[in-house]
């Protein structure tokens, strides 16, 4: 239980990639972290493959100081999440305070819209490589890239690397 006492938020929206949501959520809970599911609204959301998950809280109901880390799964959800100013403000504030932000697959789109990638090293799904580069990031095609408080991975096949990096960073 290496993350006992740590508080982690994980973002949710319709179209989330089920593996990229459930695997990190359960893995962090297994390590003793308290995981809170955040979303634009407190309701049930449906994943890409129709698996449902419920938001514990709306982002507007919480404070960045309540969390040690933020995980953003991929799928179609990041394209929806980036449309909410309260989500982008939450991500910017997490970054400003140096808190861990972990993104996988298409979740880098949220970081692009939050405008926090300039001069940073990241990875992501190959189809968003140009978006990450155009936002000022250096794209590295590796299973996991850690740059300061940012952790990024490319796709569900990298989830083992992704979760290990989150655990290591938070127990650090």
Which active-site residues does the annotation give? 105-106
Tell how far CA 43 is from the center of its chain: 19
Residue with tokens 């960045």: 64
How large is the C-alpha radius of gyration of the chain? 14
- Cβ neighbours for 135, distance < 8 A, ≥ 6 positions apart: 111, 112, 115, 117, 118
| Residue 140: exposure state from Cβ atoms within 10 A (0-12, 13-18, ≥19) | middle
- Residue 156 CA from chain centroid, whole number: 13
Of 125, 115, 8, 29, the residue nearest 76 (C-alpha)? 125
Strands 100-104 and 69-72, bridge-based pairing:
parallel
**Residue 5 burial by Cβ neighbours in a 10 Å radius (0-12, 13-18, 19+):** exposed
């Amino acid at each position: 239980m290496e993350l006992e006492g740590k508080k982690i938020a994980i973002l949710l929206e319709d179209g989330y990639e089920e593996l990229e949501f459930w695997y990190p959520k359960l893995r962090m809970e297994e390590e003793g972290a308290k995981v809170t599911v955040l979303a634009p609204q407190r309701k049930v959301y449906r994943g890409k493959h129709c698996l449902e998950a419920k938001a514990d809280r709306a982002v507007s109901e919480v404070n960045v100081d309540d969390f040690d880390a933020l995980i953003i799964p991929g799928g179609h959800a990041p394209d929806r999440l980036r449309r909410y100013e309260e989500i982008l403000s939450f991500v910017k504030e997490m970054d400003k305070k140096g808190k861990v932000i972990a993104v996988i697959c298409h979740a880098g789109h949220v970081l692009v819209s939050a405008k926090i990638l300039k001069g940073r090293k990241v990875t992501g799904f190959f189809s968003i490589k140009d978006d990450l580069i155009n936002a000022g990031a250096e794209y590295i095609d590796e299973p996991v890239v850690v740059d300061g408080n940012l952790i990024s991975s490319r796709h569900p096949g990298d989830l083992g690397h992704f979760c290990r990096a989150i655990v290591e960073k938070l127990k650090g």
